[in-house]
Chains A and B, each alone.
Chain A
Amino acid sequence: MAEIVGGFVVPHNPIMFYEPDAPSAAQKQVVLDAYAATAARIAELKADTAIIIGCDHYILYGTECLPRYVISTGEMDGPVDQLPGLKRAPIACHAELGTHICREGFESGFDWTVGRAMAVDHSVAIPHHYMVKPNAGMKSVAVMLACGVDPYLPMKRAWELGEQIAAAVKSFPGNERVVVIGSGGISHHVGDERMGEVNPDFDGRVLAAITSGDKQAMLGFTDDIILSEGGNGAMEIRTFACAMAAVGAAGGKVVAYEPITEWVTGMGFAELKAAA
């Protein structure tokens, strides 16, 4: 039987690739060390599969059709929005697990949109690059939530989706050791007049909710609170809620946090304990 052995929440900041030396050398190193620590922890957990929960940035899906949540059930490649040092390429996928999660979802009230040959953006490709790729042989399943473009997926639904992923992994007929990665920036404003503002207080409260496994605190981040205190980019914390629920909200610990105004983002990393 497959098992979720751990989880993480991490940022996916593309500006890191365009302006790698914009912040201080010390801040940059904290971020790089944090990614390296999560990759090493994945190795310690002997994980062979990652479910990476990202979000579209109005890159993958347009006004013609805006899916609520999407899962990869076949091949995968990305990032569509190539970055300096991170070019579009095939990503090793776990098609059977993605398909299983999807089919189980159909039976339990989750109408997944599927990517049978799915393209992902940087929200999946960056964590894959830093955390999964260093662990040779790992496969991934990509999940994309509507966090960047309205109508947004409600936080509660993101949580329920995480629970559905957990149940489906448990019933998967294999011996996979799975880590779940929630991918998103904490406070950040994308393209609006407040771009560059970072809110360490908000970021601290989000990380506290995550590391204490506090479902009510997490669901208490309403869209109004997120938009006013964290910014439009912080709507991505839905991916954190989904990952928390998938691992059983058993708490965890902060790996690193840096408010990096040069990268316009509160960059938070945490490890999520898997519930026994």
Chain B
Amino acid sequence: MSRNSLEKVLYDLSTSGANKKAFSAEPEKFLSRYQLTEEERALITGYKVREIADRGVNTMLTWGFWLQSGRAQRDYMKIMKREEA
């Protein structure tokens, strides 16, 4: 379990269009590059930003990860506040 690898994935997705495209097309294949547990991979593919942040991941990255997927800011805040999105 490593917040470092989680941060690496989110950083790579936030700074590269090619990575975003690869993740969007084949998430599991894209994530196989990284040292992640099965649980961590599920957190990412499920956009579980609250749980990811709870593992110490920088929230600049969780926020960017959410927004780059086209999801709504309002829903992000509900999830971060542990309200129903």
Chain B positions within 8 Å of A, measured between CB atoms, are 4, 7-8, 11-12, 14-15, 53, 58-64, 77, 80-82
Contact = CB atoms under 8 A, between A and B. Distances in A.
Interface in A117-154: 148-150
Interface string A33-75: 0000000000000000000000001110011100000000000
A62 B80 contact: no
Contacts of A149: 58, 60
Contacts of A196: 77
Interface in A185-208: 190-193, 195-196
**Binding site secondary structure of chain A:** loop
A232 interface: yes
Given A58-B14, A59-B15, A62-B15, A191 B60 contact: yes
B59 A63 contact: no
Contact of A63 (B8, B63, B77): B8
A58 B61 contact: yes
Contacts of A148: 58, 60
Contact of B77 (A58, A150, A193): A193
B80 to A, nearest CB: 4
Given A193-B81, A195-B77, A58 B8 contact: no
Most buried by A among B7, B60, B62, B81: B60
Interface string A152-192: 00000000000000000000000000000000000000111
A81 to B, nearest CB: 9
A22 to B, nearest CB: 12
B15 A192 contact: no
A3 to B, nearest CB: 37
Nearest to A59: B15
Contact of A192 (B4, B11, B59): B59
A106 B80 CA distance: 43
Contacts of A62: 8, 11-12, 15
5 contacts: A57-B60, A62-B8, A63-B4, A190-B59, A196-B77
B80 A192 contact: yes
